[in-house]
Amino acid sequence: MIEARRLHILRAVADHRTVTAAAAALYLTPSAVSQQLSALEQETGHRLVERGAKGVRLTPAGEILLSHTNAVLARLERAEAELAAYGSGQAGTVTVASFATGIALVVAPAVAALAGSAPGIRIRVQDAEGDASLPMVLDRQVDVAVAVEYRGAPPADDPRLTHVPLYAEPFDAVVPVAHRLTDAPEVPLAELAKDPWIGPYPGNPCHDVVVLACENAGFQPRMEHSSDDFRAVVALASAGAGVALVPRSALHGTDLTGVVVRPVDGVAPTRRVFAAVRRGAEDHPLIRPVLDALREAARA
């Protein structure tokens, strides 16, 4: 008989590629993870992982078991949801991880709405970029992630996750007031090819959006300054340090003294925001109201 908790460990090792990283995500010791993998191999009668200089990879037998693992764990999540519904499940804690603007735009309004409509549900919020929040959901560190689509992100049909689209917003060009394009009604990105740039660090999903937009315009942006805080990005642009692309909602409440904000000429780069939960958990009586509240906040 295969133990479900060992399947969860197998998936974590497949996701993180090393026993050490999987152990850290699961709050276990590397030796405990190795022991559970060995036990799983004994249960199945197959070698499931191979260790090499670059980490751990699944054997063909391990890949077969992983394909079933995603379905099994989703069914267990669904079973937990139905059992919680049977026991009413009207009170409990849901942990939500989101990037800062997402917290302001949809998470905080959802928290306020749930305080009136579902007072038994307590929301705990953690600030995390999208590339961090999705692994946190898969590793059961949080229940819900509010994340941004980015290159390398799990796709919408990933068997481990259920995606709930929330909203999409364009990026606007932010240039110093003395910039040569301040009088242009719209900014062609190709005209900024030789400018110094300010933007998020690599790994931040917004960094991917900016770089991809510039690549589509025919150039690689020269990132002179980096910050994941868009208030700092705008402040540097105000100081004449460079130009930037900033999500429109991140400009709300930001001091725009010293800069000019213009829409991008043509098809504007866009960040698409969604909520994600472990597949099967979307109907949990604690999680469903949270997803509904996030969708309603996004519509508003």
pLDDT (0 to 100) of residue 70: 84
pLDDT at 86: 58
Cβ atoms 293, 93 nearer than 8 A? no
Q: Residue 125 above 60 pLDDT?
A: yes
- Which is more confidently placed, 239 or 121? 239
- pLDDT at residue 292, rounded to an integer: 97
Q: Which pLDDT band holds residue 225 (cuts at 50, 70, 90)?
A: very high
Average pLDDT over residues 55-79: 86
Poorest-confidence range of 41-50, 141-150, 165-174? 41-50
Reading the block at residue 205, the tokens are: 């999903």
SS3 1: coil
Q: Report whether pLDDT(262) > 90.
A: yes
pLDDT of residue 85: 62
CA distance 80 to 72: 12
Task: For residues 32 and 70, give the distance between their C-alpha atoms in angstroms, rounded to a whole number.
Answer: 22
Residue 296: pLDDT over 80: yes
pLDDT at residue number 77: 83
CA 165 to chain centroid, in Å, comes to 12
Task: Please tell me whether the overall predicted TM-score, pTM, comes out greater than 0.75 for this model.
Answer: no
Supply the pLDDT for residue 88: 60
Q: List, in order, residues 6 or more apart from 105 with CB less than 8 Å away.
A: 167, 249, 297, 298
Q: 89 or 75: which carries more pLDDT confidence? A: 75
How many Cα atoms are found within 13 Å in the side-chain-facing hemisphere of 220? 0
Least confident segment among 26-40, 135-149, 243-257: 26-40
Q: What is the mean pLDDT of the chain?
A: 90
- Structure token pair of residue 29: 């010791």
Lowest model confidence (mean pLDDT) among 53-62, 101-110, 171-180, 289-298: 53-62
Q: How confident is the model at residue 89 (pLDDT cuts 50, 70, 90)?
A: low
What pLDDT shows up at residue 131?
79
Contacts of 253 (CB under 8 A, 6+ apart): none
From residue 268, alpha-carbon distances to 39, 44, 100, 147 in Å are: 52, 51, 22, 20
What values do phi and psi take at 92, rounded to 5? 160, 180
Assess contact for 105 and 292: CB atoms under 8 A: no
User: Which position has the higher pLDDT, 242 or 40?
Assistant: 242
- Residues ≥6 apart with Cβ < 8 Å to 44: 2, 61, 65
Q: Quick one: 1 exposed, middle or buried, by C-beta within 10 A (0-12, 13-18, 19+)? A: exposed
Instruction: With a cut of 70, say whether residue 90 has pLDDT above it.
Output: no
